Amino acid sequence: AKAGLPAYIFIPATIELGKIVQMLIYGPNVIAVEGTYDDANRLASEVADSHPDWAFVNINIRPYYTEGSKTLAYETAEQLNWQVPDHVVAPLASGALLCAISRGYKELERVGLVDKADFKISGSQPLNCSPISTAVQNNSEVVPVRNFETVAHSLAIGNPADGYYAKKTILDSGGFAASPTDTEIIEAIHLLARTEGIFTEPAGGTTVAGLKKLVESGHIKKDERVVVYVTGNGLKAQDTLLKSLQRPPVIKPMISEFERLFAPKLDIHEQKAAIAI
């Protein structure tokens, strides 16, 4: 926008309103496509190819896009006093992010900033669109999926470009992959918010839900030091999350109204306070 370049942005028609607002505010031409991210990407590529002076931003003028994701590994190692976690869990869409994180840790070992990049990396992908996680679980080829629907819109890539490499990266490290349901993803969003004070979108909920399943299945040991990448802010997915929340009660501006409504909770809080004293 600052450079004055015209932009045409192709998005799935089902994308969350919060994400559209972030685009529209800069004044580009936003086109909602009936279909998935795969359909929007394919159409954008075809349109760019039909105009010689256009560029498809996802590929040919962002060569450092996936390389930049390696900084997640750099920041993690730095915050762990230049140590590598035992296990890493990342969300899966195209597979590029997981591969970049893995490369980041290995590069730190190569330049001597960490002693040894000996870690497992696992992925989590929504069950309704899980070509990579299914391939990992079955040790099979990555088979594209179609006609899917999931609350984790940003992970809904039915034909993942880096699926093969993501599967290989996971299995070579000794990791695994989880496929949480939409219900489990929403529950994980609530869990993270209420226990850690972090509000994430369904992509982050997918990772947290995947962590839970990986621990329950024994693929992650309870004594391992685990880093989970929560990659999106919940403010971008309010429409999706509103369905799982209760609207606040309405009362008159009177203390008696408040106490009438919350008396049971107040009694519990007072009992806990008395025990603490």
pLDDT at 81: 97
Give the whole-angstrom CA distance, residue 77 versus residue 209: 24
Residue 33 β-bridge partners: 12
Residue 269 has pLDDT above 60, yes or no: no
Q: Give residue-wise pLDDT tens across range 193-247.
A: 999 999 999 999 999 999 999 999 999 999 999 999 999 899 888 878 888 888 8
Give the whole-angstrom CA distance, residue 167 versus residue 24: 36
Residue 273 has pLDDT above 50, yes or no: no
Q: Give residue-wise pLDDT tens across range 45-72.
A: 899 999 988 888 875 556 677 789 999 9
Q: Give residue-wise pLDDT tens across range 83-138.
A: 999 999 999 999 999 999 999 999 999 999 999 999 999 999 999 999 999 999 99
Where are any strands of DSSP class E within the chain? 8-12, 29-33, 87-91, 120-124, 177-178, 226-228
pTM of the model: 0.85
Give the whole-angstrom CA distance, residue 136 versus residue 130: 10
Q: Give residue-wise pLDDT tens across range 134-165.
A: 999 999 999 999 888 999 998 999 999 899 99
pLDDT at 271: 54
pLDDT at 224: 97
